[in-house]
Structure 1
Amino acid sequence: MAGIADTIQKKAVMIDCQKENVMDNCGTGGDRSGSFNISTTAAFVLAAGGVTVAKHGNRSISSKSGSADIFECLGVDINLSPEKTSLILNEVGLAFLFAPHMHPKMKYVMKVRKELGTPTILNLIGPLTNPVALTSQLMGTYRRDLLEETAKTLSELGRSRAVVVNGAGGLDEASLAGTTHFALLEDNQITMHTIEPEEFGFARLPLEAIRGGNAKQNTETLLSVLKNQASPYLDTVLLNAGLGFFSNGKVGTIQEGIVLAKECVASGAAFYKLEQLIQVQKEVA
């Protein structure tokens, strides 16, 4: 996978990021869970906690709404030039990188992928091809059997620290539905781990509890989470944002990451990050 990802990345439109320790938290999708947009919501929490997030993503392929659909519903222009995207990333610490614009030479492949409407190898490769030089990454995958191999690939692509995660029910996120498995890349070593929601004070809930809808409905869910409205959606985002802080090295443990995530949401910092993103976008437009 590293060879394919490296080739695609070298042909990508590059984004100039002056920040240090930049991460992405996009997943493969393709898990058929019908969940809401967890990683997109968590990206605002991560950015509010001081982590620079280059959010690489696309429109929906096999679900009702992709990250691009959500950002559009939020009022974010996903069609900005690379120069303006770079300005936003450096100013806000969060920017959306629309995959078709970042990888214009892949447009014919993406057309076929959309027509197929099913998970392909591009689901596995896509999160590896962020045009920003990432140093850390939280990557969800619907393939539990590829956790360790994907972590090795991230190491080969230059990540110094990363977590590759698969949740209960095949979710490409950490899950409240049961055991979450993940591979941790740290100090050039890969170790395998499992976590349970109860370890962090979360109730175990079925996947139906975080069922999503269309882009508009999922955007409303995102806003409710950023406004700290108690729900299984909020708990799921806190778990994944906490894992994201841990993946980035911002904190030393997942528990510390969850505490930081709770602070970012409860203080209003996560919602402010959304407002800041929209305001800075208007200024650079």
Structure 2
Amino acid sequence: GTFNISTATAIVVAAAGLPVAKHGNRAVSSKTGSADVLEHFGVCLDIPVHLVADCLAQVGMCFCYAPAHHPAMAKVGAVRRRIGKPTVFNLVGPLCNPANVTVQVIGVGRPGSEPAVAEAAQLAGLQRAVIVSSEDGVDEVGLFAPTHVIDVSADERKEMVWTPEDFGLKTAPESKREDLLVADAAESAACIRQVLAGELSPARDVVLLNAAAMLWAAGHAADLPEARVLAEQAIDSKKATQTLESLVEFSQQGK
């Protein structure tokens, strides 16, 4: 599978000045979950729940470890791992962020599920939700294919299609897809380190796409190219690396 794009995206978005409450778990239907990667970086996952809000306020980012916030759901983890492929929980999980977020970009990897997720996001009371699904089956804004988008608010719904060119980047050739593939959490973390260090690569580009989508959705930029520039600045200024280091430090102090 690919490196943990959503985790890298969260770090970059937070470094760009938008507070991020990342909600996630260990790997269930993929090779690496956000919790596995963050733990590899040194983030303490069992930080007391009451300190998570403090982490968000001080660092600009926090990690809501799903089993700590949804104990009942932890009981189905073993079953999900035995199934070994995406289930309905992959669709429901993003809508259960315990931080009561108001804006979300939600990736859908199951074709045809986008309208249902969009409707659920409206029912959940989100001020805005941007549902993205790449034509190549990736549950992110895609680098190799167009991305179908449903942009919903309380009383409005728009559908559109994005390509990397809409962000000021280029659609990558299929031969570059292997550059995003990793075998485990260690490789995923190493890939993210390279992105945060400013290395030019397809991995950087896909993070820029997804970070830009979030910054745009939250109103931090007027359009997608401007949002991409903000994401680039967060990386190249080393603020993204500093954000990760601050997250690690806070979590270890709060053990």
TM range (shorter): over 0.9
Contact 2:126–2:154 (CA<8 Å) still a contact in 1?
no
Q: Report the Cα distance in structure 2 between the residues aligned to 1:222 and 1:140, rounded to whole angstroms.
A: 19
Question: What are the Cα deviations for residues 197-223 of structure 1, in whole angstroms up to 9, with x where unaligned?
Answer: 233222423233322221000100001
2:158 corresponding residue in structure 1: 191
Contact 1:144–1:181 (CA<8 Å) still a contact in 2?
no
Shift of 1:246: 1.2
Which residues in structure 2 correspond to 1:136-285 (within 5 Å)?
136-186=103-153, 188-199=155-166, 200-206=168-174, 207-285=177-255
Q: Give 2:200's aligned amino acid.
A: A
2:91 corresponding residue in structure 1: 124
Shift of 1:101: 1.2
1:29 corresponding residue in structure 2: none
Shift of 1:156: 1.1
Aligned residue pair count: 252
Q: 2:60 aligns with which of 60, 83, 93?
A: 93
2:46 corresponding residue in structure 1: 79
**3-state SS, counterpart of residue 276 of structure 1:** helix
**Which stretch shows the higher mean deviation, 217-226 or 149-158?**
149-158
Q: Report the Cα distance in structure 2 between the residues aligned to 1:109 and 1:187, rounded to whole angstroms.
A: 32
Question: What are the Cα deviations for residues 110-160 of structure 1, in whole angstroms up to 9, with x where unaligned?
Answer: 221122112111111111111111100011011231222211211111111
Under a length normalisation based on structure 2, what TM-score does the superposition of the two structures give? 0.94
1:112 corresponding residue in structure 2: 79
Contiguous gaps of at least 5 residues in structure 1? 1-33
Contact 1:142–1:166 (CA<8 Å) still a contact in 2?
yes
Contiguous gaps of at least 5 residues in structure 2? none
Q: Give 1:66's aligned amino acid.
A: G
Shift of 1:168: 2.9
2:37 corresponding residue in structure 1: 70
2:13 corresponding residue in structure 1: 46
Q: Report the Cα distance in structure 2 between the residues aligned to 1:37 and 1:142, rounded to whole angstroms.
A: 14
Q: Report the Cα distance in structure 2 between the residues aligned to 1:151 and 1:52, rounded to whole angstroms.
A: 23
**Which stretch shows the higher mean deviation, 199-208 or 223-232?**
199-208
Contact 1:198–1:204 (CA<8 Å) still a contact in 2?
no
Contact 1:37–1:212 (CA<8 Å) still a contact in 2?
no
Q: 1:60 aligns with which of 11, 20, 27?
A: 27
Question: What are the Cα deviations for residues 152-207 of structure 1, in whole angstroms up to 9, with x where unaligned?
Answer: 21111111111110113100001111111111114621111101123322242323
Cα RMSD after superposing both structures: 1.4
Q: Report the Cα distance in structure 2 between the residues aligned to 1:114 and 1:211, rounded to whole angstroms.
A: 20
**3-state SS, counterpart of residue 89 of structure 1:** helix
Question: What are the Cα deviations for residues 17-37 of structure 1, in whole angstroms up to 9, with x where unaligned?
Answer: xxxxxxxxxxxxxxxxx1111
Contact 1:210–1:232 (CA<8 Å) still a contact in 2?
yes
Question: What are the Cα deviations for residues 79-105 of structure 1, in whole angstroms up to 9, with x where unaligned?
Answer: 111012222122112111111111102
Contact 2:133–2:141 (CA<8 Å) still a contact in 1?
yes
Shift of 1:283: 3.5
Q: Report the Cα distance in structure 2 between the residues aligned to 1:148 and 1:94, rounded to whole angstroms.
A: 29
% identity of equivalent residues? 36
Q: Report the Cα distance in structure 1 between the residues aligned to 2:225 and 2:152, rounded to whole angstroms.
A: 18
